[in-house]
Chain A
C-alpha cells in the first residue's frame, strides 16, 4: 500500500512539470513581457534593459522557466500587474470562497447521486427508476447558470426567503446568516455531480447485482442490507473517482454560476485575470488549480485502493 502511494505521488511529478511548462510557454507566447507593461514606452533603452536584467527577462528561456518554477514552488506566486497585490493573497482568498460552495456542493451531489443511483438500480424499470433517472439527466443537461437564475427568481425574488446575491459576512460559515447565502449556489453547483454520479452508480449497481458473487452472498443467507453493503462497496471506487473529478472541476469555479450569485471565487478571479491580461495572476491560478486537481486525484486513487485491493498494483 505504501509502495502504491509513493508511486502514485511520483507519477504526479511529471504531470505537474508538464502543466507548468505549458503555462510558462503560454505566458511567453503572449506578445510583450512584464517589462513592456511596467516600463513606459518613452523610457531610454538602457533603463529598459536594466529593468529586464533585474527581473531576469534577459536570460534564456529555460533559465527563466527554472527561476519562475522555483519561485512558484517556494510559494512566491508573483505580483498582480493590475492591482500590485501579491497573487497569493488574491488567489487563496478566491479559492477559499469557491471552497465554501464547492465542498458542500460535491458532498451533496455525491450523497444524492449515490442514493438516487442505487435506488434507481434497485427499482430498475419501475416508475421510481424513471423518475430518478429523469432527475439525473435533467441535472446534467440543464444549463446550471440558468437553474441558478431560476432558483434566484423563485427563492430570492418571488418568495424572498433566501438571499440571491453575495456571500454574506466574512469568515468561516457558521451562522444561519452565512449558511443562508450558501444554499442556492450550493444546490446549483451540486446538480452536475449529482446527475453524473447517479447515472454511473445506477449502471454499476445494475451490473454488479447480476454478478455471480451476489447469488453467492444470497446463497449463504445474508439479508438484503448486508448484500447491499457488498454491492455498494464494489460500486464505490468508480463513484469516488468521478467525485474527485467533479470536485476538481468545481474548484476551477464556475464563472457563470459565480456571476449569477455574485460570488467572488476562483472562476471570477480567472475571468478577471483574462480580461485584464493579468498574466501573473492567470498563470499562478492555473498552476495552483492544476496542482490541487492532481492532489485530489492522488487522494481519490489512494481511497480507491483502500476499498478495492485489486487496484494496488
Chain B
C-alpha cells in the first residue's frame, strides 16, 4: 500500500503557477519583561505545491521560529508576529481559533525534531493517530483505526497492527519518527512543516527517514518546508535552499546553484565547514566567532562581526540582490550576473 488510500484530488501535484505558500515580510519578536528578542526580521518566500524548500541555518538563526509561526504555534502572550502568511490563499495570521485548528493537522501538518517528546507518553501511538483522523475526517473509531493501520504500513513500520497499541517509549527512535510522519500525513496535508526531523536520530536511521520523507513527498505531491542545520540533509531533500542568519534569509536559490557557487560569505563558511558539500551529520561550526545575539542585533549586516570581507559599507543593512531570477543574496558584494 502506498498512496492508494489518498484521494487523487488531494495530491495536488501542480495546479498552475500560483504558489501554495506565500510569506511576506514576516517578523517575529519575543517580548519578555526584561528584553526583546528579534527572532525573525523580515523574511519573505514562496513555496509551490509539491516543492521542497529547505531553510538552512545554525541554531538561533530563527529557522524553527519561522516554521512555528507558519502554524502559529508560538506562545501568543510572548510573541509578536507581523507580516503576512498565506497558505492556499488563507491568511494564517488572521484566522480565528476554530479555523486555525481546522487547518492544523489538516491542510498543514508538522513533524518535530524529537519524536520521543512530541508524542504524548501516556497514549498509544494508535490512539494519537486515530484522534487526529477522527478530528479532521470525522471517521468512526473502527474506520479511523483502519486508516491508522494503513498509515503505519505506508511509513513501513513492521507488524503495524501490533505497533498501533504500542506506547511511544516502546518504540525505537526511528520507528517513532516514522509514526510521527504517519500521524502528520494522516489527513493528507498539502504542506508539511518539518522541524529538523532527523537530527535526533542515528546516522543510518537518518538516511532511511529522509528517503522515506522524500518518497512520500513525491508520491503525495505535497509541499515541504524543511528546517535543518545540516547541509547534507538539505542537499538530499530540497529543491530550493534558503540560508538563514540572524532572522533573515541571506541567500536563496535552487539547491545545486547554492551549493556549487555560494555567494554569501556566510553560506561559503557553512559549506566550507562541512568539507564536502554533501557530507551529512556535520555541525556548522567552522565559522569564526559566535552566532549573533538576537537581543542586540548590529544595525547593518548582522554577519559583519564574523565576516572576513566586512567593510565600512556593511554598516548599513545590505539590500537583497537578485543575481539571477531565482537567486537572492543579501550582501553588498553580490552583483547581478
Contacts and interface: CB of A to CB of B under 8 A. Distances in A.
A226 B112 CA distance: 20
Given A220-B135, A221-B106, A222-B135, A212 B169 contact: no
Given A219-B71, A219-B73, A221-B132, A211 B117 contact: yes
Contacts of A307: 122
B9 to A, nearest CB: 21
Nearest to B169: A310
Given A222-B135, A234-B120, A212 B112 contact: yes
A211 B114 CA distance: 12
A146 B103 CA distance: 55
B23 interface: no
Q: Name, among A221, A234, A307, A309, the residue most crowded by chain B CB atoms within 10 Å (CB to CB).
A: A221
A215 B122 CA distance: 16
Contacts of B136: 221
Contact of B119 (A216, A221, A223): A216
Interface string A199-241: 0000000000001110111111111001000100110000000
Q: Name, among A212, A216, A226, the residue most crowded by chain B CB atoms within 10 Å (CB to CB).
A: A216
Interface in A272-313: 307-310
Contact of A308 (B98, B118, B122, B132): B122
A218 B103 CA distance: 11
A233 B184 CA distance: 23
Nearest to A237: B122
B101 A223 contact: yes
Contacts of A221: 101-106, 132, 135-136
A58 to B, nearest CB: 58
Contact of A309 (B105, B106, B114, B169): B169
B109 A220 contact: yes
Nearest to A307: B122
Contact of B121 (A217, A219, A222, A310): A310
Given A212-B118, A218-B104, A219-B73, A230 B123 contact: yes
Given A222-B101, A310-B121, A215 B73 contact: yes
B40 interface: no
A176 to B, nearest CB: 41
Interface string B124-145: 0000000110011000000000
Contacts of B102: 221
A97 to B, nearest CB: 38
Interface in B92-113: 98, 101-106, 109-110, 112
Contacts of A220: 104-105, 109-110, 132, 135, 183-184
Interface in B258-288: none
B73 A218 contact: yes
B119 A309 contact: no
B167 interface: yes
Given A219-B104, A221-B105, A223-B101, A309 B167 contact: yes
Contacts of B112: 212, 215-216, 219
A234 B120 CA distance: 8
A218 B193 CA distance: 14
Nearest to B106: A221
B117 A212 contact: yes
Q: Name, among B68, B98, B101, B167, the residue most crowded by chain A CB atoms within 10 Å (CB to CB).
A: B101
A287 to B, nearest CB: 36
Contacts of A310: 121-122, 167, 169
Contacts of B103: 221
B83 to A, nearest CB: 20
B110 A216 contact: yes
B21 to A, nearest CB: 16
Nearest to B166: A309
Nearest to B110: A219
Q: Name, among A220, A222, A230, A309, the residue most crowded by chain B CB atoms within 10 Å (CB to CB).
A: A220
Contacts of B119: 213, 216
Contacts of B170: 309
A124 to B, nearest CB: 10
A222 B73 CA distance: 13
Contacts of B183: 220
Contacts of A226: 131, 135
A217 B104 CA distance: 10
Q: Name, among A219, A223, A233, A309, the residue most crowded by chain B CB atoms within 10 Å (CB to CB).
A: A219
Contacts of A213: 117-121
Interface of A: 211-213, 215-223, 226, 230, 233-234, 307-310
Lowest 7 CB-CB distances: which A-B pairs, in order?
A: A221-B105, A220-B105, A221-B104, A216-B118, A212-B117, A219-B110, A220-B132
7 contacts: A216-B118, A217-B120, A220-B105, A226-B131, A230-B120, A309-B169, A310-B121
Given A216-B118, A234-B120, 13 more contacts: A212-B112, A215-B73, A218-B104, A219-B104, A220-B105, A220-B110, A221-B102, A222-B101, A222-B135, A223-B135, A226-B131, A308-B122, A309-B122
